[in-house]
Structure 1
Amino acid sequence: MGFLDNLKTKLSPAKDKVGELAQQHGEKIDHGVDKAARTVDEKTKGKYSDKIESGARKAKDAVERLSHKKDEGGAPPPAS
């Protein structure tokens, strides 16, 4: 068994736990991402608004995928 296989095996329980947490606290995570994005946008005076918005959207999508994996037994939702 190679290094990456060993690593995947050891991280599998953590991945499951992250999925559970994303499912339970998805709204709180989304709120935190929005708050962080607003703060960063204010600090940069709107200079990077498009990039910040894009990053926040990707973070929210990742949380949603994690929570759906737990719901659907491992099958991620289709990419939009």
Structure 2
Amino acid sequence: MSMMDKLKSMLKGHEAKADKGIEKAGDMVDEKPQGKFQGQVDTAQDKLREQYGGGQEKDQPPQD
């Protein structure tokens, strides 16, 4: 089992917490260069959300 598979299995059922962590980590990374790479950070956050956070965009309401 690869590391990615282990992460996915650990985060399964905790998508909201994963989304929150992805958002917080992205904000910390974006803070250092004062928003210079905001587009790239946002793209990375979106891709991580697709993999680990249930694939919801930050502007979309949660799906039931």
Q: TM class, shorter-chain normalised?
A: 0.5 to 0.7
CA distance in 2, matches of 1:41, 1:28: 20
Gaps of 5+ in 1: 1-10, 66-80
Question: Does residue 48 of the first structure (1) align with residue 37 of the second (2)?
Answer: yes
Greater fraction of residues in helix: 1
Q: Which has the larger radius of gyration?
A: 1
CA distance in 2, matches of 1:42, 1:18: 26
Instruction: Tell me by how many angstroms 1:38 deviates.
Output: 0.7
Instruction: Tell me by how many angstroms 1:21 deviates.
Output: 2.5
What secondary structure does 1:46 align onto? coil
In the TM superposition, structure 1's runs of 4+ consecutive aligned residues that sit over 3 Å from their partners are: 17-20
Q: % of aligned pairs identical?
A: 28
Question: Does residue 34 of the first structure (1) align with residue 23 of the second (2)?
Answer: yes
Q: What is the aligned residue count?
A: 53
Question: Does residue 23 of the first structure (1) align with residue 12 of the second (2)?
Answer: yes
CA distance in 2, matches of 1:24, 1:62: 13
One-letter amino acid matched to 2:35: G
Gaps of 5+ in 2: 56-64
Instruction: Tell me by how many angstroms 1:18 deviates.
Output: 4.0
Instruction: Tell me by how many angstroms 1:25 deviates.
Output: 1.4
